[in-house]
Amino acid sequence: MTPVAAPASASRSYRRGAICASALAPEEQYLVANGRSYFRDLSFDDLHRMQFNLETTGLNPDRDRIFLIAVRDPFGETETLEAPYDGNTGEAALIRELV
């Protein structure tokens, strides 16, 4: 069987001709086998997901900083948060505003 590309932590899919099989990560196998979930007693419909995007001045954490965060809630509302000033202090204030 030939592995199909997938992220390292995700399940793996294998294909041989028209036959396809999946292998779950051990953590996922445990949850499926025991009927447990990541969500405690919540049903999937009770969950709310928030997305956020970080914009940085670069990829070096010693030099570069987060200067903008875009947030979207499960109802489609969006908000853009901007660092009030440059440097470490501005990044810290931006992160505090997010949480």
Chain segment 68-88, per-residue pLDDT in tens: 999 998 888 999 999 999 999
- Each residue's pLDDT tens digit, 43-71: 767 778 889 999 999 999 999 999 999 99
Task: Please provide the average confidence, as pLDDT, over all residues in the chain.
Answer: 82
Residue finishing a domain among 28, 44, 60: 44
Same domain, 37 and 53: no
State in Å, rounded, how far the first CA of the chain is from the last one. 46
Indicate whether 39 and 52 sit together in one domain.
no
Residue 87: both structure tokens together: 């440097």
d(CA 86, CA 68) in angstroms, rounded, equals: 11
State yes or no: pLDDT of 7 exceeds 60: no
Structural domain harbouring 84: 48-98
